[in-house]
Amino acid sequence: MLESDQLNASLDHVLRGQPDAFLAIVRAYGPGLRAYLASQLFHIDEVDDIAQETFIAAYRSLNSFQRGHDFGAWLRGIARNKLLRFFEQTNRRSVQLENFRHEAASLLQAELEDTAASVKSEQLQAMLSCITRLPDRIRHVVRSLLDGSKAAALAEEMRTSTGAIYQLQYRALGMLRECINQELAHEP
Amino acid sequence: MNPDLQDALIAWQGGELPPGRVDTLLEKLRGDAQFRQALATEVWTLSLTKVAQAPDPRWIALHEEIGLVDRQFTVVDGGFEASLMQNVRREPLRFVNAWWRWAAATAAAAVVVLSATLLLQHSESETIVKETLAVLVPDSESSPSRALSAGPLRLADERVRLLFTNGVIVDIEGPADLNLLSVSRVICHEGKLRTQVPKGAEGFCVETPRGAVTDLGTQLGIAVSRQGKTDVDVFEGQAELSVRIPGQEGLRTAVLNQDDRASVNPGTGEIRATDQSVLMEATEPQTRRLRLREDYSQRILAAKPAHYWRLNREVAGNIPNEVPDAPALVIVGGVRVQEDAHGFASARFGARQQPGVLVSEQPWKTPAEGYAIEFWFTAETLDQMALAALTTLEPLRPHLALVELGGRRPGESTAAGTLRYLLRWPAGHRDGMNLFSAATAALPYQWHHLVAQQRAGRMEMFLNGKSISSAMADDSPQASEALLQFGSLELRPAQDPAKLRRPFAGRIAEIAVYDRVLSAAEIGSHAASR
């Protein structure tokens, strides 16, 4: 994320007719926005589509952003509207399993927003490094990016049960959080 | 372990749960704030794993929206015309006559059509905007090199070198007032310039008040006074001088050959031979000082490298290995261990004029469990140059890994200062998994600490102690016999050093190679040892 003066400088450049400066904003806020969207969508291509739409909408209404406010929160506000429309258009509510995700996402809105607001760009870098340090078996589960069908297939591949796969993943998430905290604590 | 939390995570991912369980979990979510927070934490970690492992997105629609893709196709190289027109509009009329604005715009339009045609014939990845035109290298150590895009450049009493991305070098002596329009066009309102234009970049044009000097592949000096008087001195090669006759549409031109000197009077449009020399010595920028801590070598040795070549001494044509009984690096071609202006000894690579490479005396068995290559480097050009290569022993030396500088990242057009780490398994001459730094991440005439490492196909690149990129290769490299080479793409058996490909220009120091990956803390500590 950008410091306030950096953000203001980039916004000034864009509003004075240097649209390239918007790319700096995209680079700074893109990872956090993608992570936020990934918390509510299964597929990374859907995440990227909506992230792109969000940035386009933000670019078009840049004048309405109030300086001094949290730019990331403003983006996530736009993204939430895009998500709602996306869920409506794709009729996600008719799918029972996604119904849980959709309803839970709605219940977790405040908590996810708080977490997204406090995320640091270093966390993503640390995450990459931490994934490589996971034990092979657990890393394999994390790399497989589970959804309902993949978990079953992975269980078959690893000759274990679907429940065991989810347990490994659950353990992995805890290990990753611990590792990220340690990584960030050791940042020189 | 919290079974509710785990089940909620399973449901979140679309996994199956017993009948009624989903409703129970939703009920708990509604009423239990702690549970909501715990699930939000899990969900967020999960989403970070997803995004961290996903490739960078290519947002063409966004680029179109903000006008970048459109400019690539309809305008020009790097948004040249747009920036040209913006800059020309900003020009004070007292300096640049309107005729020149239209001439410049017409020239730009011609380039537009040509570029658009060429671009449309090429792949989309070649059509991204060139954001950086040049890198400014100060003559003193007071400030670091910096990337320049189109726009004004004003200098006080100082000397700088501009390294343009097309290979043109312009030394400038202040006070100077310029406007960078593109890699091939600069407006000079005031200042002393010395241009060096390599083959392929002929036509580099310096607009002066009411005129222009077009470098036809030469070295020449141009001095523009505050009043607009322009003197040109051709040191080598040929240049075309042109000036508009006041009150007319006519344009007077003159071709100047080596040792010709001419003076232009913008008030009358006259071009006169003169004895006035615009001799300006080429600026030779100094690399900023690298002062490593005295215990740096002990720190590296404590990390137990498989190889450690300090590159600060040469013994009988070889660089000795600080690891007992480990092989030396053999010097091939134009590599010399030399002290820089600050007395720091390192290996200097002579680039295209004197290509050279360092190659391990004996093969290295790359461990299956991963490795790390660590070194310091400073470049002297923006060319595409190989820093480190790992090849097999086969005669054509297919690559297992490559670290290079100045290569274009697909989808980006600025290659200056871009680092690339490539991994291939099995070894080959094409394809593979690439990591790239941001453009201008490693600017010339500054020392940078670099680590490229992989474990089980997980690639990581660290620059100056910070992780800048990582990815998972398609296949995990297995243990193999490899040759380590530094400063060129590869050295084949009996190869003429003059024909080395992508030769490095600059200095490399303190190469360490490990049979393991380094931790982020170790890398940070090594990089901070200056």
Residue showing tokens 């715990």: B38
B367-388 pLDDT, tens digit each: 988 999 999 999 999 999 999 9
**Is B426 within a domain?**
yes
Q: How far apart are CA B509 and CA B347, in angstroms?
A: 6
AA identity, residue A44: I
Residue B24's pLDDT is: 92
Whether residue B468 has pLDDT greater than 70? yes
- Do residue B248 and residue B108 come from a single domain? yes
Domains and CATH numbers, chain A: 4-117 (1.10.1740.10), 121-185 (1.10.10)
Q: What percent of chain A lies above the pLDDT cut of 90? A: 18
Q: How far apart are CA B64 and CA A168, in angstroms?
A: 43
CB atoms within 10 A of CB B109: 14
Question: For residue B195, which phi and psi values (nearest 5 degrees)?
Answer: -105, 145
- Do residue B405 and residue B500 come from a single domain? yes
- For residue B312, give the CATH number of its domain: 2.60.120.200
- Do residue B268 and residue B316 come from a single domain? no
Q: Please tell me whether residue B191 adopts helix, strand or coil conformation.
A: strand
Contact B53 A151 (CB under 8 A): no
Record the tokens describing residue B7, joined without a space. 């089940």
A73-106 pLDDT, tens digit each: 999 999 999 988 887 777 554 455 567 887 888 8
Contact B47 A56 (CB under 8 A): no
Cβ-Cβ contacts under 8 Å, B1 against chain A: 167, 170
- Do residue B449 and residue B480 come from a single domain? yes
- Do residue B350 and residue B435 come from a single domain? yes
Whether residue B257 has pLDDT greater than 70? yes
- Do residue B189 and residue B71 come from a single domain? yes
Residue A108 is nearest to which of B40, B50, B456, comparing CB atoms? B40
- Average pLDDT (B16-26) is 88
**Is B36 within a domain?**
no
Total domains present in chain B = 2
Q: How far apart are CA B337 and CA B135, in angstroms?
A: 27
Per-residue 3-state assignment (H helix, E strand, C coil) for B218-284:
CEEEEEECCCCCEEEEEEECEEEEEEECCCCCCEEEEEEECCCEEEEECCCCEEEECCCCCCCCCCC
- Do residue B394 and residue B474 come from a single domain? yes
Nearest CA to B475 out of B514, B424, B510 is that of B424
Contacts of B122 (CB under 8 A, 6+ apart): none
Contact A51 B521 (CB under 8 A): no
**Is B461 within a domain?**
yes
Contact B418, B405 (CB under 8 A): yes
- Do residue B378 and residue B508 come from a single domain? yes
Residues of the domain holding B114: 65-273
How many helices, marked H, and strands, marked E, lie in chain A? 10, 0
Confidence of residue B446 (pLDDT cuts 50, 70, 90): very high
Q: Report the residue of chain B nearest A37, measured CA to CA.
A: B47
Q: How far apart are CA B440 and CA B437, in angstroms?
A: 8
- Average pLDDT (B482-505) is 92
- Do residue B268 and residue B302 come from a single domain? no
- Do residue B240 and residue B334 come from a single domain? no
CA distance B468 to chain A (A): 8
**Is B19 within a domain?**
no
Whether residue A17 has pLDDT greater than 80? no
Contact A173 B45 (CB under 8 A): yes
Residue B82's pLDDT is: 35
Contact B50 A44 (CB under 8 A): yes
Q: What is the DSSP letter of B135?
A: E
Residue B57 is nearest to which of A48, A96, A167, comparing CB atoms? A48
Contact A166 B10 (CB under 8 A): yes
Q: How far apart are CA A131 and CA A176, in angstroms?
A: 7
Burial class (CB in 10 A: 0-12, 13-18, 19+), B482: buried
Counting one residue from chain A and one from chain B, the pairs whose CB atoms sit within 8 A come to 188
Residue B358's pLDDT is: 97
- Do residue B223 and residue B347 come from a single domain? no
Contact B460, B517 (CB under 8 A): yes
Residue A122's pLDDT is: 72
**Is B222 within a domain?**
yes
**Mean pLDDT across chain B:** 83
Contacts of B175 (CB under 8 A, 6+ apart): B155, B156, B157, B190, B191
Q: What percent of chain B lies above the pLDDT cut of 90? A: 50
- Average pLDDT (B98-103) is 39
Q: How far apart are CA B503 and CA B490, in angstroms?
A: 9
Nearest CA to B522 out of B451, B468, B473 is that of B451
**Is B58 within a domain?**
no
Contacts of B274 (CB under 8 A, 6+ apart): B231, B261, B262, B263
Q: How far apart are CA B295 and CA B301, in angstroms?
A: 10
- Do residue B302 and residue B267 come from a single domain? no
Residue B488's pLDDT is: 95
Q: How far does Cα B149 stand from its chain's mean position?
A: 14
**Is B123 within a domain?**
yes
Whether residue A140 has pLDDT greater than 60? yes
**Is B232 within a domain?**
yes
Site from B50, B56, B85 to mutate, A interface, most A CB atoms within 10 angstroms? B50
Contact B30 A107 (CB under 8 A): yes
Record the tokens describing residue A84, joined without a space. 């709602």
Q: How far apart are CA A79 and CA A59, in angstroms?
A: 13
A22-62 pLDDT, tens digit each: 888 898 888 889 989 988 887 888 899 999 999 999 998 88
The predicted complex's ipTM stands at: 0.89
Confidence of residue B81 (pLDDT cuts 50, 70, 90): very low
Which of B7-16, B342-351, B406-415 has maximum average pLDDT?
B342-351
CA distance B243 to chain A (A): 32
